[in-house]
Structure formats: C-alpha cells, structure tokens
Amino acid sequence: MNSSSDLHVRYVAQLARLKLSEEEACRYQEQLEQIVRYIEQIRKLDVRGIEPTAHVVERVNPMRADDPAPSLSPDDATANAPLRAEHLFMVPKVVE
Amino acid sequence: MNYEAVIGLEVHVQLRTRTKMFCACANTFGAPPNTQTCPVCLGLPGALPSPNFEALRLTALTGLMLGGAIAPRCKFDRKNYFYPDVSKNYQISQYDLPICVGGELVLPRENYPKDAQKTVEESRRIRLVRIHLEEDVAKSFHFEAATGVDFNRAGAPLMEIVTQPDLRSPEEAFAFLSTLRLVLLYGGVSDADMEKGQLRCDCNVSVRPVDQEELGAKVEIKNMNSISGVRRALAHEIERQMDVARNGGRIAQETRRWDEAAGATFGMRSKEMAHDYRYFPEPDLLPVVVDSWIDEVRRAVPELPVARKERLMRRLGVGESNAEVLVADRELADWFEKAAATTKNANGVANFVVNDLLRELGAAGKPLVESPIAPEALGALVDLADAGRISSSQAKEVFAEMFRSGRAADEIVVERGMEQVSDTDAIGKLCDEVLAVNAAMVAQIREGNVKAVGNLVGQVMKRSQGKANPAMVNAALKEKLGI
C-alpha cells in the first residue's frame, strides 16, 4: 500500500475525472491523508495466521443457471440516453 | 548483430453460453442494437450481478484441457477506467486470484502455416501464465462525428488466456492460435470464430540481440481479426523493430494498431499516464470455491486433438495425413469414427471421408450434418471393395450414387449389376472364349509381345460387362498362355 505521502489528491482526482479548485485540492489532500493514517493503524495489527478475505460473509458460490430471460426493449434500454440514433447510444467521437 | 523476436499473447475468448456473464440476457451474435440488454449489463445504478455457473465451468474446463492448476478459491475484481463501452466505469474481471494458473500448449507441426511446416524442427511448448474470466464490453461504431454504442455484447462471458513470452516467430504465434482454437472447439467452450470477434488477440512483441537475456521494449499490437492477420502483423512489426534496432534507434514502449489494408502497424494515441486501473475486490460478488463441482468438470475433459491423432494412427491404422485432416475438425473426426466402427478397414473409410466425402460436400455446398450418406453406411461400401466384390473404380461410382440418392451400397451394386465376378471357373470360361477368337494375337504373345495381354484382358472385361475381377482375369490369361 502507498504511504500517505505517496497519495496525491490531484492524481486520484484525475483518475476519477474530477475537476478540483486549488482550495479544494488542498482541503481534500489533508482529508485523504487523515484517512490513510487511519488505515495505517489497521496495518499495525498482527494478522499472521488469518486467511485474507475480500468479504466478511461466509457464503460462497451463489450462482445462476444458464437460462435466458427477456431483455428490455431497445426503446426502453436507450430511453435515458442524452442522444440516440437507430437504437444506439450516441457519444462524442472516440479517437483511438 | 542478430536479433530475435519475443512474443507473448493475450487471447480473449467469448464463451459459448446461452446467457451473459452476470445477467440472463441472451448471449448471441448479430442481434439488432441494444435488444439484448437489461439493467445489469447496461450498468444502471443499483443493479446487481449474478454469476453464470456455465461460464465458470467452461473456463475451468479450458484450464484443465490446457493442463493448468484450478484455484480452489477465486474471486472477481473491479477494473476501473472510463470509456463509453464500459458504462459502469469498471469492468468485472479477475485480478490476483484467477480461476486458473499455469498450463501449456504444445504446437504440432501441422498447425503451423502450410508454407512454414517444413522448417519446424521440434514440438514447441508454450507456457501459460493464467486464465481468467471477465465480462466483455459493449461494441462501438465510429461515425464521422460521433460514436454509437451497442450493449448487446456488454457483459458477455469473456475468458482471457495469457501466455508467457515463449513465442519466437509469427509462425509460432499462428500455430499457437490454430492449436488453441482447436482445443476450444473440442471442449465446446467457444465457437472461436475470429470474424465474429469470438476469438480476439493482443500481441506483445519485442526484439533483442540473440545472446541477450533481458527483454527489449514491449509493443502491444491490437485490432487483429484473423490468425493469418496476426502472422502478418507480427512479421511486419518485428521487421520494423529490427530495423530501428539495427540503425541504433530506440524502440518506444507503446500500443500500435494493425491496419490490414495498409499491411502496417501504426502507433495509437498514447495516454500520458500509465494505466492505473485501481483494481479492488468486487463487493457485489462472493468468492467462488470449486471443490463441490470441479470433479464433474474433470470427467468432462475430452480427448484432445493431439491424443486423438495418435489414437487414430496407432489403434485404427489411419495414415498420418488422413488423421491430420480428420482431427482438425471434431465433427468430421466423430463422423469418421462412427463409420470406421462398422468395418475393419478404418483407413479405407478415412480415404473416402478425406477425399470423396469432403469434395462432394464442398461441391454441393452442404455442411457435414447434411451428408446424404450416413456414417454407418460408408463401412459397407469399403467392405464390398475389400472383399473384391466391386473394383476400386466401381466403388467410387457407388460412392457418387450413395451421395446422390442416400441409398445403401449393396443395393446400388445389385441394381447396377456391378458385382464383380471372382468365380475362377466363370472367368476361365470367358478367357477361353476370348483366346479362341484371337488366334493371331495369341501367336504374337507367344512370340514375345507380352504387352498384348492387356488387349485380351480388356476383351474379357468387355464380355463380362465390366464385372470380372481384373486382377484375376490377368492372372488366368497369363496362366493359359504359359507366360
């Protein structure tokens, strides 16, 4: 994990496509460092012998059989699109 | 200085399931835009994913077929990035605990490009890093002023197979993909049609001096839609990199796009920042534990092409080139084995399947399932020829009629009065008749013109209306003429 000094709010904001003012960036940087310091307390715990887990519940393998169900109509599917054409979601041109 | 190429592949395979990875929308190709979507695969807020067991089963099956280790426990993660084809702003994938680790694929000579097979020296073993499961993204259509997005493909189960950088030439990459595709088809894992985007491949390629251990700067090539396209793209890119290296230049680490029409790769607009996907465990999905179902998958592992070819050759006596053609198509090999089970002469059946059946099907534009000849019926034809009841050219004629009408071989033989006469007395009698009316020719033969016997054989055949066994006629005449 990054130490607090490595985590720059500007970088995180860019990854999240957030536009921050200078004042916001300063304030959030401070808050972010507080959060990271808090997490670092957890890092001090002795977790030897404890199996890592990504979930707190005991359940595993909730799965679905491969049976199709009806989909939305293309009109409904694209109803909220700001722009649509021929049932396609239209977005600003993507340049590769 | 001599350079060598180092190639690793990332192969994406669309799995053959009825529904998508995390929702019950149909997983089919070619439907009208956005007709196979729901709140889950559109990424609407609050929609929750539910994993498709069949997709996990097929991925585990692939791992077992390729000799990988199936992880007792795996999980899903979110790969975060912004792009119009991922409406949730993350793709559900597997990061640190993939379903399968390791494995390998041996490249048989016959899966190399035809023109390169002669120079293949040894069976190359290509090691795999991992196989994981993720969801496919939506399909984009680029127009003049905008991009249109169709979410039918979004959320389709997508398996990613990552190789070690073990490949050394475009021809090996070609052989790897051909071999892998066949394994996938044998397992029923995917239809693996590259034109439909069911098998997609990114190539990582670099060059280095042959005596150097360290890898050169890696270039990733995207946008390849055929196995021969991969070969061409790699050949071009390796040449380009070697040119740069020989001229003392520096190869930039970048992503390039293969342009099939131009026959060249082009640099893609590179992002200034390195990718940071901020992977983290998908909180909406629980871990997957395989112990309760993996044994069943293990039992479903089919005989693979390499083993099948060996068996057809060793156990059934099929010739190598026939075996290669048969094994390259699982359905064809299955059809052949059904036919071969009805006769002792499996290679005789193989000859008819590889030469005659494939030619006739091709000419008629029919798929194998529509073959007018049932596999069980072909064995009877081979037996008739082997027993000497019809000649080999008659067998071809009967085959053509079987293909035309779907009727049984013995029925056609009887109806056309083809049955070959192998009765020594009957043949002897016909020979005597012919010798009696050809006194002059008999004299010539006795004086040494042995070639003229052929003419007499022809006359006997004619008198028998083509039914006499030609080899027996020849022998009988020679005996009677004392030569």
Query: Which of B27, B79, B94, B286 has the most A C-beta neighbours within 10 Å, making it the best mutation to test the interface with A?
Result: B286
Q: How many CB pairs under 8 A join A and B?
A: 129
Q: Which backbone phi and psi does B383 adopt, to 5 degrees?
A: -65, -40
Q: Report, as ranges of residue numbers, the positions in chain B whose pLDDT lies below 70.
A: 269-274, 420-422
Q: Which backbone phi and psi does B14 adopt, to 5 degrees?
A: -80, 125
Q: What is the pLDDT of residues A10-60, one digit of tens each?
A: 988 988 889 999 999 999 999 999 998 998 998 889 989 988 888 888 888
- Gap between the Cα atoms of B152 and B141, Å rounded: 13
Contact check, Cβ <8 Å, B19/A92: no
- Which domains can be identified in chain B, with CATH numbers? 3-295 (no CATH), 303-415 (no CATH), 424-481 (1.10.10.410)
Residues of chain A neighbouring B53 (CB-CB closer than 8 A): 63-66
**Whole-number pLDDT of residue B418:** 74
Question: Residue B142: helix, strand or coil by DSSP?
Answer: strand
**Whole-number pLDDT of residue B482:** 82
**Eight-class DSSP state of B84:** T
Residue B156, strand partner residues: none
Contact check, Cβ <8 Å, A94/B142: yes
**Whole-number pLDDT of residue B122:** 79
Q: What is the pLDDT of residues B446-457, one digit of tens each?
A: 888 888 888 999
User: A61 touching B, CB under 8 A?
Assistant: yes
Q: Is B302 exposed, middle or buried (0-12, 13-18, 19+ CB in 10 A)?
A: middle
| Distance (Å) from the alpha carbon of A46 to chain B's nearest alpha carbon | 22
Domain ranges of chain A: 1-47
Residue A3: pLDDT over 90: no
**Whole-number pLDDT of residue B270:** 59
**Whole-number pLDDT of residue B274:** 60
Q: State ipTM.
A: 0.88
What amino acid is encoded at A12 in this protein? V
Residues in chain B: 483
Residue A1: pLDDT over 50: no
**Whole-number pLDDT of residue B168:** 95
User: B75 touching A, CB under 8 A?
Assistant: yes
Half-sphere exposure of B65 (CA within 13 A, CB side): 28
Of B73, B148, B257, the CB nearest to A88: B148
**Whole-number pLDDT of residue B416:** 79
Domain A1-47: which topology?
Histone, subunit A (1.10.20)
Residue A4: pLDDT over 60: no
